Chain A
């Protein structure tokens, strides 16, 4: 068998079947010229690996740019989604259920789900737990994280928990509100909270998306139903349109003091 350069390359790249590989290895035992060729190819591979090592240190500007682009893309999608939901008429039917679901869900959290970061004190009543105070991990996300950025909450006892603000808007009572997602291995939730004059965030609604086996302490809804309810709540609360990424940035930098 003639051992071409292509075959020798395929040999060092591990692309050959065992039969061809064995033929090459047999030939290599006695063929000095082939041995030199092979060594040279291996040497080049080693040098390339040396010259281009993988680095886990990603420059901050690349990550920031990624977040900014995602923010802009999300802005467009959010505005489209809100326009769609304006035609939604199910609010009156669903809102009481949504509130009930929120309360049950928060109770579920208090009873010992793995998302207990939502309340600093597990002895709080359900209604108290619906206010997000500054000592709550979720509070700083709502205060400081731009929409579409994902923040991992420190939750050392349990699995990873990610929070992502979705959009910000001004309510018809003059409060700033934010829709957000909470994702973990066990639960996916979507909620809306509005910032109060005492600086706390009031949880208007928090629903869990049904995904897998249900937990008897939680109240789950199919994800399209969750979206429908959340859209209804936002439609009811929102004054006009979602706040743009630029204005949201201004608000975050100015502790949610009005920009107009």
Chain B
């Protein structure tokens, strides 16, 4: 009696905060992130019968989100990867009063995010923001762990160039 659907419905509700954050890190603005979340959850529910419960549910959902982002959102070249830096920093300042220097560094890093390739952005989202292990990220993206390491390292090099700290 739709037990699968019920289980999946509950799992998605639990996963939504993380899925939204991942989507946000990919799209760079909350509206596109919510559109991506909506498209992902629709696809997950419509394909509920295809979920193999030997696989980790979150990996399956994040993989669907990744594929949708690449297929649909990347296709909209006009949109680019517009990261809404103003709204991100404004939201942050509502939560806590950052030092002006932190705000400046943040703006620089976010602006560098736009220079990342899709593959690099995915790895920053999964590992640096979501905290997945290299093995899990490799599973979600269906690439070897060695590729995860090299792409992630290149991505972080790009972001570090934005802050260029001298101690």
Cβ of B124 and Cβ of A48 under 8 Å apart?
yes
Bound Cα distance from A37 to B165, whole angstroms = 9
Cβ of A62 and Cβ of B41 under 8 Å apart?
yes
Bound Cα distance from A118 to B6, whole angstroms = 22
Judged by a CB distance under 8 angstroms, whether A116 is at the interface is: no
Bound Cα distance from A37 to B48, whole angstroms = 45
Cβ of B110 and Cβ of A73 under 8 Å apart?
no
Q: Which residues of A contact B42 (CB under 8 A)?
A: 65, 69
Q: Which residues of A contact B54 (CB under 8 A)?
A: none
Interface residues on A, range: 35 or more
Q: Which residues of B contact A35 (CB under 8 A)?
A: 167
Total chain B interface residues with beta-carbon distance under 8 A: 52
Q: Which residues of B contact A54 (CB under 8 A)?
A: 17-18, 21
A47, A55, A148: the one contacting B2 at CB < 8 Å is A148
Interface residues of A in 69-89 (CB under 8 A from B): 69-70, 73-74, 77-78, 81
Contact with A along B44-67 (1 / 0, CB 8 A): 011010000000000000000000
Q: Which residues of A contact B129 (CB under 8 A)?
A: 48-49, 52
Bound Cα distance from A77 to B41, whole angstroms = 18
In the complex, residue of chain A having the shortest beta-carbon distance to the beta carbon of B137: A13
Cβ of B163 and Cβ of A190 under 8 Å apart?
no
Q: Which residues of B contact A15 (CB under 8 A)?
A: 133-134
Q: Which residues of A contact B38 (CB under 8 A)?
A: 61-62, 65
Cβ of B48 and Cβ of A44 under 8 Å apart?
no
CB distance from B113 to the nearest CB of A (A): 9
Q: Which residues of B contact A40 (CB under 8 A)?
A: 160, 163-165
CB distance from B153 to the nearest CB of A (A): 4
Bound Cα distance from A51 to B96, whole angstroms = 12
Cβ of B166 and Cβ of A36 under 8 Å apart?
yes
Q: Which residues of A contact B149 (CB under 8 A)?
A: 6, 9-10
Interface residues of B in 126-140 (CB under 8 A from A): 127-129, 133-134
Cβ of B2 and Cβ of A51 under 8 Å apart?
no
* Interface residues in chain A, defined as those with a beta carbon under 8 Å from any beta carbon in chain B: 4-6, 9-10, 13, 15, 35-37, 39-41, 43-45, 47-56, 58-59, 61-63, 65-66, 69-70, 73-74, 77-78, 81, 148, 150, 164, 166, 181, 190, 227
* Interface residues in chain B, defined as those with a beta carbon under 8 Å from any beta carbon in chain A: 1-2, 5-6, 9-10, 12-13, 16-18, 20-21, 24-25, 34, 37-38, 41-42, 45-46, 48, 88, 92, 95, 98, 102, 105-106, 109-110, 124, 127-129, 133-134, 149-150, 152-153, 156-157, 159-160, 162-167
Sample (19) of A-B pairs whose CB atoms are under 8 Å apart: A13-B127, A13-B133, A15-B134, A37-B160, A43-B165, A47-B106, A50-B106, A52-B24, A52-B25, A53-B95, A54-B21, A58-B20, A61-B34, A63-B16, A65-B38, A66-B41, A81-B1, A166-B1, A181-B6
